[in-house]
Amino acid sequence: MVLALVSSHFVRESQAAPPLISLPYRITDTIPASGTAQGATFFTDQFVVDYHGETIMLSRFHDGLGQTAVDDAIEIIVTRPNGMNTVFNHDYSHGCAGQIFPHVPFYITHLFGTGESVVSVRLYDICGVVVNSTQLYLGVPGSPPLVEVPTGFSVEDFATGLGNPVGIAVAPPEFGSYGGNLFVANRNAFADPTGDWIARIDATGGVSPFLTTDLYDPGNIAFGPGGGFGYDLYIGNNGAPGFQPNSNVLKVQANGTSSVLAVLALPEISSTNPSGGLAFDTSGSYGNDLFVGNTGGRAAIIQVTEVGDLAPFFFFDSPQTSTGPVALVFGNGNGFQQH
């Protein structure tokens, strides 16, 4: 049963002021199953929402999507700025019908009034034996992806104005005066290739264009480890009919001079797209070569030598791996084998 009603009674103010939160808001992480006495309340939360017209869903995820499930029930009481209470209650057990019935996101915008509302959430048992819950959010449809960090850490902008960053690497000290700078590949999603560029970011967050030519939908980037590859910047560059028939690996020196190390054209692969990562073997176990993750045509890892010779190294042909790689990295040998 779903009950949503507006009541005319008022709630007593709590002694400690509840915190003001921002939307979307995670009410709780997943609560694992545990034994309970029948009728017990096993979770409570109280907070303040400063509401100004957002669509609010009770959902599993921050963007208002995802089914929720509580063993057994949830109650949400919203005290509006005018003192009136609105109440939402849902019993996921359907009256102790023998199982928990997950539910699509609930639309609960109507509970809120403009301004600061106090929200009280209670998860409680009805049927006895056990309690648990999925993750629960006051979700807002269309919210951008969340960046969550451990307690004690914070997230802030370091550099802005990058467009669509997709690849990132720190230059080694040997990369001339730019050693230690951060390099970021920006792609224009197969639109105007003039929107593709490689940004250089200094320690203060200052952004400068480093390379704006010879690029088409660049993806992953990596710096050479020395030896035959030097310490140059390597870029996985996509191909496109009418502009660049085949994908390639672009090599860029510290002075901005670029050249093609290898054209990624192989008879075993109908088309190439080096969006699956770039990684150098520095252990010698695999020839000290460059490895490129290919996600176009036949998904594969391609091995590239320092002179640009290439060969397929591994094919993702099983049903479990048919989508290909999204990133490549070599183990450091410290607990991770050098594969």
Cβ proximity of 204 and 257 under 8 Å: no
Per-residue confidence (pLDDT) for residue 336, from 0 to 100: 52
Taking residues 253-264, what's their average pLDDT? 94
Assess whether pLDDT exceeds 50 at residue 13.
no
* Domain covering 165-315: architecture: 6 Propeller (2.120)
pLDDT tens, 42-79? 999 999 999 999 999 999 999 999 999 999 999 999 99
User: Among 102-106, 196-200, 237-241, which stretch is predicted with the lowest mean pLDDT?
Assistant: 237-241
Looking at the chain, the whole-number percentage of residues with pLDDT higher than 90 is 63
Model confidence pLDDT, tens digit, residues 179-191: 999 999 998 755 5
At residue 113, the pLDDT reads: 94
Highest CATH level, class, for 2-139: mainly beta
Handedness of CA 189, 190, 196, 200 (dihedral sign): positive
pLDDT at 3: 40
Residue 265, classed as helix, strand or coil, is coil
Whether the pLDDT of residue 220 is over 80: the answer is yes
Range 8-38 burial, b when 16+ CB lie within 10 A, else e: eeeeeeeeeeeeebebbbbbbeebeeeebee
Banded model confidence at residue 244, pLDDT cuts 50, 70, 90? low
pLDDT digits (tens, 9 = 90+) for 287-335: 889 999 888 778 889 999 999 999 999 888 765 455 677 788 887 765 5
**Residue 199 reports pLDDT greater than 60:** yes
Q: What is the predicted pLDDT for the residue at 151?
A: 82
Q: What is the SS3 string spanning 210-226?
A: EECCCCCCCCCEEECCC
The pLDDT of residue 209 is 94
| DSSP per-residue letters across 170-211 | EPPTTSGGGTT-EEEEE--TTS-GGG-EEEEE-TT--EEEEE
pLDDT value for 63:
94
- pLDDT, tens only, 28-49: 999 999 999 999 999 999 999 9
Average pLDDT value over all residues in the chain: 86
- Report H helices in the chain: none
State how far the Cα of 70 lies from the Cα of 52, in Å rounded to an integer. Answer: 28
Domain boundaries, given as residue ranges, for the chain = 2-139, 165-315
